[in-house]
Amino acid sequence: MQILKKLGLILSLGAAMATSAALAQQQQFVNVLTGGQSGVYYPLGVALSQIYAKNIPNVRSTAQVTRASAENMNLLQAGRGELALALADSVSDAYKGVAEAGFPKPLTKLRGLSATYNNYIQIVANADSGIKTLADLKGKRISVGAAKSGTELNARAIFKAAGLSYSDMAKIEYLPFGESVELMKNRQLDATLQSAGLGVASIRDLATSVKIIVVAVPADVVTRVGDAAYQPSFIPANTYAGQTVDIPTAAIPNFLVTHSGVSDELAYQMTKTLYENLDTMYAAHNAAKAIKRENAVNGMPVPVHPGAARYYKEVGVMK
């Protein structure tokens, strides 16, 4: 009898260990690639990682600080993340392999999960810098975002369309949003170009510290960019302290992008869980209020992941 009890205990322990091993094997990781901590990608990515960790069984999820769009696409292609936020033009350039945008080879593993919200080109100058128009940027010190980031690619496109180049400026800095703002507070920069959602924390911070001018990007300049991702829009009055009128600018869509190595089931769960928890996304940042299921695949620059497509077919967004 004692031998049977011991044998039963051994079998129970073995079964428990086998079950634990099976559960460990089933556990999946979702690394959400974001951007700098002072931008919009980061709070949305953190919220998304928390949603996934809480609601998708056997998923561990984290949000990673990155240099945003361009780097995110390269990381996805390398399998070093499962989901990323990125600008439409960066996603398109990555998939096509546009060398001058930092993609010497096509990143063919990229797959679309969902459209999100628009970025707005926000060119902000110290009021005492004398900058009021794009032409006034000549001879001034300006930060254009991290080198080869989505923001910096936007800066090149807008400046070219406006007949400007980096060589026209007194100094170009390749800095994240937060660092750009600190230099502006210290009068070491005259202006910063930031491609981000409305009400981005970095510019809100700057506007409460110094008097700012938000520089217009006229609709004809936006049209001359020659890329359908760039659409004429405006920054609504009072988005930032001291900005009392609507400011014309360019709007560029952002997308959630995954890759072909992510299983159909996980991509399905990531998409479904996103749309079942939009309130949490709204609480993370106002920009998330633009995320609409009916617009999820509009303008998608890469093929929709089959797992995401399954969800969209279930809810009638795709046929």
The answer, yes or no, to whether residue 190 has pLDDT greater than 50, is yes
The answer, yes or no, to whether residue 16 has pLDDT greater than 80, is no
- Structure confidence at residue 245 (pLDDT): 98
Tens-place pLDDT, residues 219-263: 999 999 999 999 999 999 999 999 999 999 999 999 999 999 999
Tens-place pLDDT, residues 153-185: 999 999 999 999 999 999 999 999 999 999 999
Last residue of a domain, one of 204, 231, 252: 252
| Type of residue numbered 302 | V
Last residue of a domain, one of 198, 233, 252: 252
- Structure confidence at residue 15 (pLDDT): 46
Read off the CATH number of the domain in which 271 is found: 3.40.190.10
Kindly write down the DSSP assignment for every residue of 159-213, as one continuous string.
Answer: HHHTT--GGGSSEEE---HHHHHHHHHTTS-SEEEEEE-TT-HHHHHHHHHS-EE
By residue count, the chain amounts to 319
- Structure confidence at residue 26 (pLDDT): 77
Give the torsion sign (CA, 248, 194, 119, 98): positive
pTM for this entry = 0.85
Q: Which are the contacts of 9, defined by CB distance < 8 A and separation ≥ 6?
A: none
Tens-place pLDDT, residues 27-68: 899 999 999 898 899 999 999 999 999 999 999 999 999 999
| Type of residue numbered 202 | S
Residues 113 and 146 in one domain: no
Residues 126 and 208 in one domain: yes
Q: Which are the contacts of 124, defined by CB distance < 8 A and separation ≥ 6?
A: 184, 191, 192, 194, 203, 206, 207, 212, 213, 214, 215, 240
For residues 215 and 233, give the distance between their C-alpha atoms in angstroms, rounded to a whole number: 13
Tokens 């959630």 belong to residue:
256
Residues 152 and 71 in one domain: no
Tens-place pLDDT, residues 88-103: 999 999 999 999 888 9
Provide the domain limits for residue 264: 26-117+254-314
Residue 224 located in a structural domain:
yes
Total domains in the chain come to 2
Residue of 70, 80, 69, 73 whose CA lies nearest to 41: 69
The answer, yes or no, to whether residue 107 has pLDDT greater than 70, is yes
3-class state of residue 313 by DSSP: helix
Contact assessment for residue 291 and residue 116, using Cβ atoms and an 8 Å cutoff: yes
